[in-house]
Each structure stands twice: as C-alpha cells, then as structure tokens.
Amino acid sequence: MIRKCFLCEESTEKVFSTTWVLPGLLPTEIGFSICPKCGSVCQSPSVDFDDMMAFYSSIAVYTNPGRQELPSTAKIRDLDEQIQFIKRGIGNLPNSVLQIGSSDGYTLSRFRDAGIARVLGVEPGAASVSLAKRLYQVNCIHGSAETFETNENFELILMTHVLEHLYNPQTTLSKCYRMQQKVTEGFIYIEVPLMAKASSLCPGFFSFEHINYYTRDNLLKSLTDVGYSPVSVLEHFNSNLSPVIGILASTKVQHHYSEYQSCYVDNKQILLEYRQKEISYWQGCLDALLPNLSKSQRVFLWGAGIHTSQLVTNTNLLEIVKINGLTDTSPLKWGINQGDWLCQSPKDINWKIGDYVIISSYASEKEIFIALSWLRDIGVVTLCLHNRDI
C-alpha cells in the first residue's frame, strides 16, 4: 500500500524499503518515505489498514509475562510525570478523561487514583480490553481510534503513543476536537516517539507498527491544523528507549508558537543516516553471536514479532544459520506463521542439551533472559542479541 503524507496529503518520495517477514502476514515490502512539501516522514509502502488491525487484534501484545502483568518501573515513572505535567498545564486535573489506545488500563487507573472521577478507554486489542477490566476495573470500548463512538463529553483526552500508529491521524485529531466542543475548555495530551537526530534513535525506531513520524514542529502543526492550541511541551532523549515528545493543547485559541517550516532536507538526511546505522547495528549484533552459534546443535528464535522480523531483514542470518524453530510465551502467537516458521509454545518443544535460543527483543531483552532461567537449568543456551544491561 502506497500512502500519502499523513499531514498534508501530498504524494511522498520513497527513501528506502525492504521485505519484512511479519507474524501472521505474508512477506511484505515495508518502506519509509518523505513528503517533499512539508518534510514529514511516514511508512510507505505499508500493509493495508485491515491487515494492521488484524495484527493488533490477534497478535500484538504490550504486557510482558516476565513482569507478571505489572507495569515497568519506567512506565510508573512516566505516569508520575504525565499526571503532574497535565495538572500544571491546566492548573488542576479535570473531572473526566478518555484515553484512545488505552492498552492494559494502567494509565487510566493512575489518573483515576489521582482524582479523576470518570475514565474510559478505547482499545483495538481484545486481550488488552480484558486485561484492563481484570487488572484495574477500567472499562474500554473495544474499537479503533478511527471507528469508536461515544456520546459522552470529556474534558481531557489522552493519546500516548497512538498517533504514530494511525493511517489518518488528522482525522482522529479532528474527531477529538469536535468531541470537546460541548465542554467549557477541552484539553488533549499527545505523546509520541520523537524523530530526532539519527544518533539519538534506538534500533528499530523505524518500525512496522509506527507508520507516522513526528518532529517537534510537525506535531505542533498537526494539532493547530485541527483547531487545538498547544500550551506546554516536554521532550526527553535519554530516559526511554527512544526520544519522546509530549504536548498538552487546549481547545481555546492561544498564540505561543511560530508557524511551521518544512524540514524536508534535514528529515531526509536523518532517514539516510539512520538506515546505514540500522544495518550496521543488527549485523554487528549477529556477528558477535556467531562464535557461540557455531557450537549449537539446534537454534531457535525467541519472540514472534517485529524484532525477529528486523533481525531477519537487516542481517544475513538465514544464509549462515539454520533456524530450527520459533517460540514465544504469548498464547496469541502460537500456531501463527512468521515466514517459514510456525510459532510454538515453549512447553511444546522437546528441548535438548546443546540447543541455543536467540532472544531477538530489544525492549524486553533483560526481562526475557531472566524469565528463561528454566531453559538454562536444562542445558539450553540463551543468547541476548543486543546485550542490554544483562
């Protein structure tokens, strides 16, 4: 699927693309393109909307079994900051909040604990909707940002790490703005990964699930174009896996920021520099494992998902190593094909001494490694591809 610019709807210019082996989907060309007019970067070519929704609904998992469904320390810290940031920007916390992309409900539970009387989520993942109810007694509309409906009016709308996933983010922002016209003053808090200098971006920053990429300038423009007026901005570069930006905006007109200027040249250079860095990074990680892999009897990949796809896409793994299987702790993924492999439950594999497991995950590598002590106890070697904090 070829996409137009998500911000100004102009045709885009492809900078690079590769074939990705995706879980539950056929091998697909995934590329990253730039808008010659405004300089915004998006995923194009990409899978179509229905395939992406099928991925979210049946495959995507955003809670880690290694934490027994508990939020990470970073998540707790980030929520502490978001609540205080919004409270400071508004002056007080409002009475009602709607979160679009509410995941497992933890964020809404924290806002409720902070004193907000009415909380409601919108979440496309069926598993996450169930988790929100079971873990936090948070009710969610099971639907997408594009299709959900509600007759309620909310003073605050949250979209943390959602806009980068939407095929038509401006349509959803316009929908939010219209929903808040019956309140005296409505507020929206947006947080997204920040496309900064290539040297600041983590491995896998340009990913399958993120189809829109935001700088400080085009995120401000995305809000002002639909009627919101930004009132507060925060940016972090080192505290999360990738840089992030958060903006609190109001339905009341204000004049705090200058008009948008196109960043086409700078953003294209970021894409080109990042692509070279990405290939070098993944291949370097694999090369570091090769002395160990030469001793293996069988090799399995741990993690049916995006990082396994990136490992295969960005390295010569399949040319030099025979992969005997793919496994994951998530029952949602069992029985689903990713490339030539069928994902199995780890309990269904007849593990043998001398088997090797490559953990492909970047974000959850340490937690997965710790959780796999039972494999090491029976003589299976578990290898961390990225060796982050192990």
Is a pLDDT exceeding 50 seen at residue 65? no
Q: Which residues pair with 31 in a beta bridge?
A: 17
pLDDT of residue 23: 84
Q: Sketch the domain layout of the chain as residue ranges.
A: 65-262, 296-384
Tens of pLDDT along 313-337?
999 999 999 999 999 998 888 999 9
- Span 278-290, pLDDT tens digits: 999 999 999 999 9
pLDDT tens sequence across 147-178 = 999 999 999 999 999 999 999 999 999 999 99
Distance from chain centroid for Cα 281 = 20
| Alpha-helix runs per DSSP H in the chain | 49-58, 73-90, 106-113, 126-136, 169-179, 216-226, 264-293, 306-314, 317-320, 365-371, 373-377
pLDDT range class, residue 61, cuts 50, 70, 90? low
**What average pLDDT score do residues 4-30 get?**
93
3-class DSSP assignment, residue 114: coil
Does residue 115 have a pLDDT over 60? yes
Establish whether domains 65-262 and 296-384 are of one fold.
yes
Q: How would you label 234-245 residue by residue, b for 16+ Cβ within 10 Å and e otherwise?
A: eeeeeeeebbbb
pLDDT of residue 127: 82
- Report, at the CATH architecture level, how domain 296-384 is classified: 3-Layer(aba) Sandwich (3.40)
Could you check whether the bond before residue 45 is cis, i.e. omega within 30 degrees of 0? yes
| Residue 388: closest CA among 370, 368, 362 | 362
List, for residues 271-314, the tens digit of each pLDDT value: 999 999 999 999 999 999 999 898 898 999 999 988 999 999 99
Q: Is domain 65-262 annotated with CATH 3.40.50.150?
A: yes
d(CA 77, CA 269): 33
pTM score: 0.90
- The pLDDT tens digits for 179-205 are 999 999 999 999 999 999 999 999 999
Q: What is the pLDDT of residues 344-377, one digit of tens each?
A: 999 999 999 999 999 999 988 998 999 999 999 9
In the 8-state DSSP scheme, what is residue 194?
A: B
Write down the pLDDT at residue 59. Answer: 63
% residues pLDDT > 90 (the chain): 79
Average pLDDT value over all residues in the chain: 93
* Predicted local distance difference test score (pLDDT) of residue 60: 60
Helices (H) and strands (E) in the chain, counts: 11, 17
pLDDT digits (tens, 9 = 90+) for 99-110: 999 999 999 999
Q: What is the mean pLDDT of residues 104-131?
A: 94
